[in-house]
Structure 1
Amino acid sequence: MHAHSISASDLPLFSIPATQRTVPALLRLRAERMGDSPLFSDRQNHYTGKQTLQAAAASASRLSRAGIKRGDRVALLCTNRHEFLDMVLGCGWLGAIVVPINTASRGAQLQHILSNSQASLLVVETDLTPLLADVDLSATAVQQAWLVQGQEAAQPLAVATCELPPLGDYCEPADIGPGDTLAILYTSGTSGPSKGVQCPHAQFYWWGIYTASKLGMKPDDVLYTCLPMFHTNALNTFFQALVSDACMVVDKRFSASRFFDNLCETGATITYLLGAMVPILLSKPVTPAEKLHKTRIALGPGVPEQFHSQFLERCHMHLLDGFGSTETNYVMGRGIQEQRNGYMGRVSEGFEALVVDENDNSLPDGEVGELLLRADEPYAFALGYYGQPDKTVETWKNLWFHTGDRVVRDAEGYYRFVDRLKDMIRRRGENISSYEVEQALASHPAIHTVAVYAAKSELAEDEVMAMIVLRPDCTVSCEELLQHCERRLPYFAVPRFIEFAEVLPTTENGKIQKFALRDRGIGPDTWDREKAGYQVRR
């Protein structure tokens, strides 16, 4: 099975005028071109191009009927299902802004997202209403909540609540521009609370164009993802389908034991994986479905180099690497034929990159520095951080986006990731703020000081480690600390490794030297919750 990239100019919607790089225009173009062909499925509900357009207009009408206006924020706490897409496209049709929330958010993080976004409407799946038990909705702008029916009954909420209203009648779209914000996606901060990335309509259009071209999409392709649509990766998969006349199929979650069966059942020809998912799949026994699926390629950013050839040989599927972020786009990568395992690839046409020192001076090939990025096309990148202009200016200083990633470029223009400048931990495709984990742990009365940082796991990715100094005459078990974290953090941010110390290494001005702790790594006195058999509650 062969995988070939194509030129972006070969895609059906590449040459459209800039003014049409919006949700309403893209949906209309798709409905006119391939109106009766499938565009989206959550396995129970199936939309053609025309039905998707109708759902967007009817969803916008429903929102308008409830008083939602252009520019209003709508918070969305929901799993992968057609109601999620209805809400995203309805907001895009109306000119409102959708705020998809990570379903693993808890406590202070969830409170911050709802407060910072100033969302007036909260759309929440009934199964997820318990997540709001520790959120003070009276301290947010939320005035009403709509319940999407799940498997469980809803827990009471402290705002006016009703079942998800029925879709409205068709309404004409608002006068949307490519630079209008479609979504605010919250990505973990590295030295403070999560930041809301303002993503314009045209950014998602370019995500679709650049990713579809690298993956070599064709009109009859089926794009299967079990990654959550509240993240950029899966959300922009819909736009890949939209601009390439393909179809997107979603499942609610990743299942290692069922993954290849799901590929077979959906007829998937392209799929999406994150770093740790590949070694997890390879650790499972071989199944017949590994040979029966029709999937030729998977977008797999961050998969360790040594697994690429093994995965292709065993699972008959190419893995495509690359680099992108919520704030940017698919800025770096190459088709399979030009890919070098262990490298992110070259800069894609339409983007610029620099490797710089601490003063933003460009460095020569072979020297490690921070990666800076810039887009040629207007609104191909995010607009900034919602309600945090200081962070926007800091990150986009000198008119370049500062990734916080240290990379090296070789003489042929290939970039290799080295490490992170920022104090961020990336685990199983999730960005984890060490600051938020530290705040959760520090709220325990037995803890005096804590440092949270990345430790390497056997899957060659980051795990969360905490080094803790207790208050005098206090004791606490590791299990008790994890239980304390579970009510305050997403499950994926709960530390795996814990160690107690008398003191932490500090600089002359009292800052904790995390690099020294990272270099030290896991020691003989480190407690490992996986070896201890502790299961984190989700």
Structure 2
Amino acid sequence: MLRTITIGDLLDETTEKYGQKEALVYQERGLRYTYQEFQEICNQVAKGFMSLGIQKGENMAIWATNVPEWVITQFASAKMGGVLVTVNTSYRTHELEYLLRQSESTTLLLIGSFRDANYVDMVREICPELDHCEPGKLESARLPHLKNVIYLGEDRQPGMFTWKDLLERATLLDEQERIKRQRSLDPDDVINMQYTSGTTGFPKGVMLSHSNIVNNAIKVAECQRLGAEDRVCIPVPFFHCFGCVMGTLACVATGATMVPVIAFEPGLVLSVVENEHCTALYGVPTMFIAELNHPSFEQRNLSSLRTGIMAGSPCPIEVMKNVVEKMGIRDITIAYGQTESSPVITQTRPEDSIERRVATVGRVHDGVEAKVVDPVTGETLPANVQGELCTRGYLVMKGYYNMPEQTKMVIDAEGWLHTGDLATIDEEGYYRITGRLKDMIIRGGENIYPREVEEFLYAHPKILDVQVVGVPDSKYGEQVLACIRVKPGEDLKVEEVKEFCDGRIARFKVPHYIQFVEEYPMTASGKIQKFKLREQAMQAIGLETKGQNDTA
């Protein structure tokens, strides 16, 4: 049964039932909100946003780690109708500018820095006008839509509001105005936008409605049997659906407690699970591997763990077994999907055998249609025959923002979303993901589209041509390999290429391997054969092309 409800109303409904129960806990900050307190701060921040003149349907970008302000903003923006545009924390100036411009975001919320990246400096580089403008009155030459920049920190930054300003501005607005705004929202309205390279082209803004993500969160929770007594440790980033739909929204849908980790660190995750008696743990396979191999692992009491989700990239069978046996997460589930499907299409259930849970990605959620088709003819294929996985139902995105042609390429006239993934389905409805139609790279849960990296590297003055492929990696699943043809008469070194990338594109997109080649393998019609290029490159760097680890 699907729900017809907005995110704001869902939070109010859960607060009505579980007002005095813990909603949000941050061990690192010593912060604890009951559902009543969480609802109040979200209402306050919603009014703060409205006081800035942000209208229903306006795009609001957030560039931050899993800080408390992120999850508050998620629900506050949903209550006043702002569309939350999530920004990858690994982005650099080139990608940030593209996203803000393409999304036409009017507001940007950001933290000061993360790891070696200074976010404030990068925003100033793109918008030097910030140094001389009043907060809320930005007029940027490069980003004409951007007006409000909100700094999620204590100190004051030129041209930016602070989080404290936002809380104080809430008093400028009557509570009835906020209630009226919330009541004007429709469950079918777009409320979340996530940028993904998907299967074709440059990053695209995936438009997701309240109905898309509320119902997907509910189905994800059902597959784990989550309830109000559960406490979910969320170390996966909020800027992905894994964090903000399968994580925070699934908790609010069931009355469970959100227990986020601001930035993944395996020892910290183990500490949070132990101290907060978490019953569920989320992660991509690399996170679980890091936790299992942490020096403190044997000393940790993880007996509270019951369920959770491993997703984001193929899950090695041995890792899955260790999570069940050594971490004791007996009801761990595997989920598969993509941002365009809100995100989960299939998921295993706790009652599935360990064999099912390590060898497949489960069955479709209730209320979801799926089929495996011949990529050429579109004909539906029988069981155990490989083809492209397609899905249809409430979970399919509203489309790519301002990209109608790209939307038509992935959603057909009958409403089927073509995932670009190759799969088989067995007689009992269990799916296996067997490959990808396109050449997208998945590195540690991050989608990397080769063309985006290629276009960036083409800008290097010494590069004549470049082809990017993914190669197997035991830690991250895949790594980026760039095969570069250098311009005649030029001399180019690996270090120069890496230096060119440093600080300009996200670290996970920077080629791990760089090879200089004279030519590429071609078809008779002159098309580059990427699969052959990949095989040749793997041979040259000593990677095996066969006998890789089995994955679900």
TM-score for both structures, normalised by structure 1: 0.89
Look up the equivalent residue of 2:262 and give its one-letter code.
K
Deviation for aligned residue 1:427: 0.7
For the residues of structure 1 that align with 2:198 and 2:344, how far apart are their CA atoms? Answer: 21
Aligned pair 1:97/2:114, yes or no?
A: no
- Asked if the contact 2:280–2:306 (Cα under 8 Å) also holds between the matched residues in 1, the reply is yes
* Structure 1 gap ranges (5+): 1-13, 528-538
Look up the equivalent residue of 1:162 and give its one-letter code.
F
Query: 1:274-311 CA deviation, whole Å, 9 max, x = no partner?
Result: 02223333344463444444112220023212322223
1:436 corresponds to = 452
1:333 corresponds to = 347
1:177 corresponds to = 186
Give 2:146's match in structure 1, choosing from 142, 145, 168. Answer: 142
1:500 corresponds to = 516
Aligned pair 1:38/2:22, yes or no?
A: yes
TM-score for both structures, normalised by structure 2: 0.87
Deviation for aligned residue 1:472: 1.1
For the residues of structure 1 that align with 2:14 and 2:460, how far apart are their CA atoms? Answer: 54
- Asked if the contact 1:94–1:174 (Cα under 8 Å) also holds between the matched residues in 2, the reply is no
- Asked if the contact 2:199–2:420 (Cα under 8 Å) also holds between the matched residues in 1, the reply is no
Aligned pair 1:515/2:515, yes or no?
A: no
Local SS of the residue matching 2:326: helix
* Structure 2 gap ranges (5+): 114-118, 128-139, 544-552
- Asked if the contact 1:346–1:413 (Cα under 8 Å) also holds between the matched residues in 2, the reply is yes
Aligned pair 1:361/2:364, yes or no?
A: no
2:318 corresponds to = 306
Query: 1:470-520 CA deviation, whole Å, 9 max, x = no partner?
Result: 111212221221121122211111111111111112234433211112233
- Asked if the contact 1:450–1:467 (Cα under 8 Å) also holds between the matched residues in 2, the reply is yes
1:270-309 correspondence runs (5 A): 270-285=280-295, 287-301=297-311, 302-309=314-321
1:381 corresponds to = 396
Give 2:333's match in structure 1, choosing from 312, 320, 339. Answer: 320
1:191-230 correspondence runs (5 A): 191-230=200-239
For the residues of structure 1 that align with 2:75 and 2:296, how far apart are their CA atoms? Answer: 39
Local SS of the residue matching 1:307: helix
Look up the equivalent residue of 1:132 and give its one-letter code.
V
Local SS of the residue matching 2:281: strand
For the residues of structure 2 that align with 1:508 and 1:155, how far apart are their CA atoms? Answer: 58
Structure 1 residues 138 and 198: CA distance shift in structure 2, 3 A: same
Aligned residues: 503
- Asked if the contact 1:190–1:434 (Cα under 8 Å) also holds between the matched residues in 2, the reply is no
For the residues of structure 2 that align with 1:139 and 1:175, how far apart are their CA atoms? Answer: 33
Give 2:278's match in structure 1, choosing from 265, 268, 272. Answer: 268
Give 1:462's match in structure 2, choosing from 475, 478, 495. Answer: 478
Local SS of the residue matching 1:258: helix
- Asked if the contact 1:108–1:135 (Cα under 8 Å) also holds between the matched residues in 2, the reply is no
- Asked if the contact 1:207–1:239 (Cα under 8 Å) also holds between the matched residues in 2, the reply is no
Local SS of the residue matching 1:278: helix
Local SS of the residue matching 1:56: helix
- Asked if the contact 2:107–2:149 (Cα under 8 Å) also holds between the matched residues in 1, the reply is yes
Local SS of the residue matching 1:306: helix
For the residues of structure 2 that align with 1:67 and 1:316, how far apart are their CA atoms? Answer: 50
Structure 1 residues 130 and 342: CA distance shift in structure 2, 3 A: farther
For the residues of structure 2 that align with 1:396 and 1:15, how far apart are their CA atoms? Answer: 22
Structure 1 residues 15 and 189: CA distance shift in structure 2, 3 A: closer
- Asked if the contact 1:130–1:155 (Cα under 8 Å) also holds between the matched residues in 2, the reply is no
Structure 1 residues 262 and 192: CA distance shift in structure 2, 3 A: same
RMSD over aligned Cα atoms:
2.1
For the residues of structure 2 that align with 1:292 and 1:448, how far apart are their CA atoms? Answer: 54
1:11 corresponds to = none
For the residues of structure 2 that align with 1:233 and 1:189, how far apart are their CA atoms? Answer: 15
Structure 1 residues 154 and 105: CA distance shift in structure 2, 3 A: farther
- Asked if the contact 2:235–2:264 (Cα under 8 Å) also holds between the matched residues in 1, the reply is yes
Look up the equivalent residue of 2:381 and give its one-letter code.
L
Look up the equivalent residue of 2:166 and give its one-letter code.
P
2:74 corresponds to = 88
Deviation for aligned residue 1:390: 0.7
1:405-420 correspondence runs (5 A): 405-420=421-436
1:66 corresponds to = 52
For the residues of structure 2 that align with 1:95 and 1:33, how far apart are their CA atoms? Answer: 24
- Asked if the contact 1:40–1:249 (Cα under 8 Å) also holds between the matched residues in 2, the reply is yes
Identity percentage of aligned residues: 27
